[in-house]
Structure 1
């Protein structure tokens, strides 16, 4: 599995899916680091306001909120205290810096 920007740029090749309530609640908490080519995908199935936090995450994250593969918002969240919200049917977390150049309205595919 991989995450690809509509420009053809591969954003991540090591992709995990947080599908259950427990894995979605835990997210990246308690991990010491993640690889540079990593993404954690939260597929929700329907659009709603989705919040992401970095409580117990000791490194910064780039976060992308998607509706039907279209970027609604991106944010870089600070370690330990970052928080962001947006309408989405999927949210993807990456290492900070991954989403440089990705803007609202772009398409991101999870292949």
Structure 2
């Protein structure tokens, strides 16, 4: 799987090639807590299936991250969340966490997609 940024203008780029999906209650609750770091090409994707206000916290996460909130693939918010104390909230059906700086050029209105899967899709 890959996470691909498709800006409103210009050409797209791959944001992550190592993609983990947090699709269970436990994996969503844990998120990136207790990890020491993540690889440069990493993304943690939280698919929720419906739009609602989604909050993130950085408790027990000792490194900064970029967070991207999506509705049907359209970027609604992008924030840099700081280690230990950062938090963010926005409406989304999917949230993606990336290493700090990975989403520097991602803006509201752009599209971000998770492409590829085990079945080759």
Query: Does the TM-score normalized on the shorter chain lie above 0.5?
Result: yes
Q: Distance in 2 between matches of 1:106 and 1:67?
A: 11
The structure 1 residue matched to 2:15, chosen from 8, 11, 14, is 11
**TM, length-normalised to structure 1:** 0.99
Q: Distance in 2 between matches of 1:28 and 1:86?
A: 19
Q: Which residue of 2 aligns with 1:88?
A: 92
Q: Distance in 2 between matches of 1:102 and 1:93?
A: 13
Partners of 1:109 and 1:92 in 2: CA distance: 10
- Distance (whole Å) between structure 2 residues aligned to residue 41 and residue 102 of structure 1: 16
Runs (4+) of structure 1 exceeding 4 A deviation are: none
Uncovered stretches (5+) of structure 1, i.e. residues with no partner: none
1:39 pairs, out of 19, 38, 43, with 43
Distance in 2, matches of 1:41 and 1:31, equals 16
Say which SS state the counterpart of residue 26 (structure 2) adopts.
helix
Q: Which runs of 5+ in 2 are unaligned?
A: 116-121
Give, in whole Å, the separation in 1 of the partners of 2:19 and 2:100.
15
Partner Cα distance (2:70, 2:57) in 1: 17
Deviates more, 1:13-22 or 1:3-12: 3-12
Q: Considering only aligned residues, what root-mean-square deviation do their CA atoms show, in Å?
A: 0.5
